[in-house]
Amino acid sequence: MKKLNKTLLPHALALSLLAPNMLHAGTVQVQAGKSPPAMYIRQLRENQFITLTFHDVRDDVAKQGDRDVYAISTQNLSQFFAWIRREGWQPIRLQDVLQARDKQRKLPEKALLLTFDDGAVSSYRRVFPLLKQYQFPAVFAIPTSWINGNTKDAYEAYGAGNLMNWDQMREMQQSGLAEFVSHSDNLHRGILANPQLNLEPAAITRQYYPAEKHYENNEEYQARIVADLTKSKQELDRQLGISTLAVFWPYGAVTPETEALALQAGIPMSFSLGNVASLADSETTYQRALIIDNPTPEQIHQDMIEFITEARLPHKQRKSFLNFNLAELQSSDAKELDQKLGQLLDQVTAFKSNTLLLQTVIDSNADGKIDAAFFPNGQLPLQQDLLNRTAWQAKTRISNRVYAELPLSLELQQGLNLAELTADLVRNNSSIEGLMLDTGNTLDCALSQASWPAPCAQQVTQVMAIKERSKAKALYHANISNDYQTALKMHLKDSSLAGLKPLMTQVLKTSDFLYLALNPVQQPETFKALMKQVQTLDAGQRQRLIVSLDLIPDMNAKDWKRYKQDFQALRIASVQKIGINNYRLPDGQRIQQNLYQSLSMNDSPLTYRDPYQQGWRRQ
């Protein structure tokens, strides 16, 4: 097993952060010289624009496998600029976006914002001449501490002597073609985020102090971010004679909380990374597509189309879930913890599922009451600080989306404030992309009948109110670059499921999912009833349905065959999100051998590797 790294190089954070949901050029091949139909471009709505983010531009970039995945060749960028002119795209300025947001003007059709991050000297030597040739405007995001002598992080990204200086930027600014914005002063780095010493984005991470064994509190965190952004803006304004309009967050790491902190620092606009073509007049933070792998103009164009269409519909994406209890990773020894976590990552890597659902609290004495949590919070004792490390490693090392599960009973039976607990969870775990609320038996009445009596309807209303409060708290601290999602979990108990369609129609909003768990061996009639009800759902509702099957001990060949058949039946019924509800490390080999073909996201049998064969190692 490969040793787990405790750190992550700062310049690699963006790629690892966005790996599961990142839009990047170069993934889809398009026949040279042939543009996809213009009908897709017409799907841009009024005041909608696409933002593309480039980094270094070099003459010697390899066609594939370059040492810097962010770099694009001068030739490819020049050809892309020619394509922009030929196809009628309209490069815009930040001022255009700001005025459209304030409803002072409308953006042109096919509006395109060109941006270049980090202040590499190639922006002056190679990009600026192209801007002058085509008379295109572009935006350059500058980490001011790098320009002023922060050589460690800058050299790590680009090497010595490869950044612009202020004189070069002043020349670009005076041309009227270059706008400069904040890329922070010194947030373009990772800081310690947990006791296991992972580095995570400085802008959205509560720093962990190993010597004191505590985290930065809210006041300390907010003061640090405001001070950094204020310093960055003041330096840009002083050096370039401008009023800085925007912050382009390093690694795309930004939350609504940090949006507000940027406003405190006097910066009115905010840009993340992500996969949504932004509306100038309806967004607070705008998303940018990250260009990697030295794409050709045709490849960039193809991804621009995906940016407009499929990429903005995360509910359509196929998911393969593994539900895992963090209690399995508990250990008093750091080495043993790493071994257990490594075992989990090895198994998930081989299985090729893409979504990990982590149970984040524990009922230690099995009395039905939650006793402690696996993340720091203000309401439950801390069992062991495991969530942050596990979620971060799963996201950055094996490209899994990570959901956190909390039981609704914490509020309904134990009187805790679930919304505040959720805030604590997401605030200290910025890589979490979804919240799963286990409803226990609170929605059984709604699921079992198509028409709800008043007491049942009141119970549904109560559950949904808790969900919405918790979602709001989560979204305030969630990374905007992610497609944050919320799901309600139910355990099916009988075959009365007449309320499934009303529940999804009347209660769930477009960003919500319903997660149904059952055991088809022990509940064959329930599974049959579920399949019957699935047929009543429309395509959109099926896309927001998750079905996960419980495993039982000592399953025999007949049981495994039943599971395979049922997973196949779900797929035939267009249920795109399926999984295992109680994945355990000791069951990994049996699950791999029996359910790989049913649940794996690996579309190529040639890349299959059996992790349980002697000599197998995670690459």
The pLDDT assigned to 618 comes to 42
CATH number of 313-603: 3.20.20.80
Q: Which residues of 72-91 are buried (b: 16+ CB within 10 A; e: fewer)?
A: bbbebbbebbebbeeeebeb
Look at residue 23 in the predicted model and tell me its pLDDT.
39
- State how far the alpha carbon of 242 is from the alpha carbons of 95, 237, 500, in Å: 12, 5, 57
Domain regions of the chain by residue span: 23-192+228-311, 313-603
Q: What is the pLDDT of residues 244-266, one digit of tens each?
A: 999 999 999 999 999 999 999 99
Going from the C-alpha of 339 to that of each of 3, 4, 255, 331, 585, the distances in angstroms are 9, 9, 33, 10, 12
For helices 557-572 and 588-599, the axis angle rounded to 10 degrees is 30
Q: What is the pLDDT of residue 606?
A: 67
Give the integer Cα–Cα distance in Å for 362 and 367: 11
Q: What does the pLDDT read at residue 15?
A: 52
How wide is the angle at C-alpha 71 spanned by C-alphas 229 and 483, nearest 5°?
60
Amino acid sitting at position 253 = A
Q: Token match 């927001």: residue?
A: 544
Are 23-192+228-311 and 313-603 the same fold in CATH? yes
pLDDT of the residue at 13: 56
- Taking only the tens place, the pLDDT of each residue in 161-179 is 899 999 999 999 999 999 9
Rg, the chain, Cα only:
25
% residues pLDDT > 70 (the chain): 89
Q: Report residue 606: phi and psi, to 5°.
A: -70, -25
pLDDT tens, 604-615?
666 667 777 754
pLDDT at 224: 98
Residue 452's pLDDT is what?
96
Question: Per CATH, which fold does 23-192+228-311 belong to?
Answer: TIM Barrel (3.20.20)
pLDDT under 50 in the chain at which residues? 1-10, 18-41, 311-312, 615-619
How high is the pLDDT of residue 230? Answer: 98
- Contact between 481 and 432 (Cβ < 8 Å): no
What's the pLDDT score for residue 483? 81
Burial class (CB in 10 A: 0-12, 13-18, 19+), 27: middle
